[in-house]
Structure 1
Amino acid sequence: MIKVLVADNHPIVRIGLETALNNNGITEVIGSVSTTTELFNALSTKNPDVILLEMDIPEVNGITALRRLKKDQSDIKVLIYSTQAEDVYALSTLRAGASGYVSKTASLDTLIDAIKRVANGGMFITNELAQRLAFDESTNKPRKLFRKLSTREIEVLKLLASGRRNKQVAEELGLNEKTVSTYKARLMKKLNVDNMVDMLQQAKALELY
């Protein structure tokens, strides 16, 4: 059995995942948590084969939590499970150390297949995403601009788009305010804008909020 630790803020989602993953003869949920604090505490006593991590889990965002997980245990396998746009976030999470990305709109069979692949040391993205990443979508400017952004820039942009001030972004990501200002300047340049309003419009086009 593949041991899975579920990290998701929504009780109904956690219950649904436990029910589905405990009744297929392949996977077993050995714990479920709702915050990153609970996640890191759980890992002191549990040894999952795969962590199923929600992108918007409370306290710190999923990419930041992912970085910490990989820093603490480089061989840990993390599968991101999220409602966020796949072609925006999948690449960023893979760069940060995730072994795969599954949309919450995916079927149960797809989720189980992803868990199996990740548990066996593989990577998982959908065929649709692989095809989109393989071609230059010349008619989809926001997505093309996104590909210029680093994982850290995506994190900063998401937090700014959610209404955080520079100081709050700095605290959440473990940066200083001057560094956050530098990231904002880089974001404006890469997204071809010269003010915050237009930058946040780009964030909306990228479905960051």
Structure 2
Amino acid sequence: MKKRILLVDDHSIVRSGLRSLIELEDDLAVTGEAATGMEALELVRKQDFDVVILDISMPGKNGVDTLRDLQRIRPELAVLILSGYSEEQYALNLIRSGCRGYLSKDSGPDEIVKAIRTICNGRRYLSVELADLLARELTKPSDKRMHEMLSEREFQVFYKLASGKSPTQIANELFLSVKTISTYRARVLEKMNLRTNADLTYYAIKNELIN
């Protein structure tokens, strides 16, 4: 039986390219496509998939939030992040959040197919770049960048604050109280040794975490 794959990317040309690549393989099949995180969650509730290939930067519900929701509603579902951002920018945080692999969109077709098959077989896929990052984290944990020291939820709040969302907006999106979001904000600022939301935005832009 072919492994069922859901493509989640807001660019139709990216989905089309991935579909063409995957359909060359006898053991893989694209059985769903979504342009937004909300569409992806709706499909996952209705259909069975073996792997989700997920982008990070999408309108509305971004890939960071979508990954967290997928973990909640289908914890056994494997997720491969395929992003325009390099491994160094997001991979460690999202591996901690539950994705099974992380690839840059600059990766070659053979590596993308290899990653899908590895994940379908129940293993994590570590690119050379990601394996190097994990090795450096183990040998020199003090070399971590500031956002890599945040917990999963702190990183989620950091990403939204840096993107310009208010605590009220974030509270509504995450179904938490404004007070709780303010607590997370204070922790994030303290851990990152920053003072304001503008500092968070500047940090995110400088480190190419947001465009």
TM-score after normalising by structure 2: 0.88
- 5+ residue gaps, structure 2, are none
Does 2:114 align with 1:113?
yes
What is the letter of the counterpart of residue 192 of structure 2? Answer: L
What is the letter of the counterpart of residue 195 of structure 1? Answer: T
Residue 203 of structure 1, CA deviation = 1.9
Distance of aligned partners of 1:168 and 1:135 in 2 relative to their CA distance in 1, 3 Å threshold? same
**How many correspondences in the alignment?**
207
Residue 41 of structure 1, CA deviation = 2.5
The aligned residue for residue 69 of structure 2 is 68
Native 8 Å contact 1:7 1:57 kept in 2 = no
What is the letter of the counterpart of residue 108 of structure 1? Answer: P
* Secondary structure of residue in 2 paired with 1:6: strand
**Alpha-carbon displacement from aligned partner over 1:140-166 (angstroms, at most 9, x marks no partner):** 97x532221112222112111211111
Native 8 Å contact 1:2 1:26 kept in 2 = yes
1:49-64 map, 5 Å: 49-64=50-65
The aligned residue for residue 154 of structure 2 is 153
Distance of aligned partners of 1:74 and 1:132 in 2 relative to their CA distance in 1, 3 Å threshold? closer
What is the letter of the counterpart of residue 171 of structure 1? Answer: N
What is the CA–CA distance in structure 2 between the aligned matches of 1:175 and 1:87, rounded to whole Å? 30
**Alpha-carbon displacement from aligned partner over 1:113-169 (angstroms, at most 9, x marks no partner):** 11000000000121222213322698x97x532221112222112111211111112
1:111-190 map, 5 Å: 111-135=112-136, 143-190=144-191
Distance of aligned partners of 1:49 and 1:176 in 2 relative to their CA distance in 1, 3 Å threshold? same
Native 8 Å contact 2:92 2:134 kept in 1 = no
Residue 37 of structure 1, CA deviation = 2.7
- 5+ residue gaps, structure 1, are none
What is the CA–CA distance in structure 1 between the aligned matches of 2:49 and 2:64, rounded to whole Å? 19
Native 8 Å contact 1:88 1:146 kept in 2 = no
What is the CA–CA distance in structure 1 between the aligned matches of 2:67 and 2:150, rounded to whole Å? 18
Poorly superposed stretches of 4+, deviation over 6 Å: none
The aligned residue for residue 30 of structure 2 is 29
Deviates further, 116-125 or 172-181: 172-181
The aligned residue for residue 103 of structure 1 is 104
The aligned residue for residue 207 of structure 2 is 206
Distance of aligned partners of 1:201 and 1:107 in 2 relative to their CA distance in 1, 3 Å threshold? same
Native 8 Å contact 1:90 1:101 kept in 2 = yes
Native 8 Å contact 2:161 2:200 kept in 1 = no
What is the CA–CA distance in structure 2 between the aligned matches of 1:74 and 1:197, rounded to whole Å? 35
What is the letter of the counterpart of residue 90 of structure 2? Answer: Y
Distance of aligned partners of 1:41 and 1:193 in 2 relative to their CA distance in 1, 3 Å threshold? closer
The aligned residue for residue 90 of structure 2 is 89
* Secondary structure of residue in 1 paired with 2:149: coil
RMSD, aligned α-carbons: 2.1
**Percentage identity across paired residues of the two chains:** 35
Does 2:81 align with 1:80?
yes
* Secondary structure of residue in 2 paired with 1:198: helix
Deviates further, 121-130 or 81-90: 81-90
Distance of aligned partners of 1:198 and 1:35 in 2 relative to their CA distance in 1, 3 Å threshold? closer
What is the CA–CA distance in structure 2 between the aligned matches of 1:195 and 1:41, rounded to whole Å? 36
Residue 63 of structure 1, CA deviation = 2.4
Residue 38 of structure 1, CA deviation = 1.9
Native 8 Å contact 1:35 1:58 kept in 2 = yes
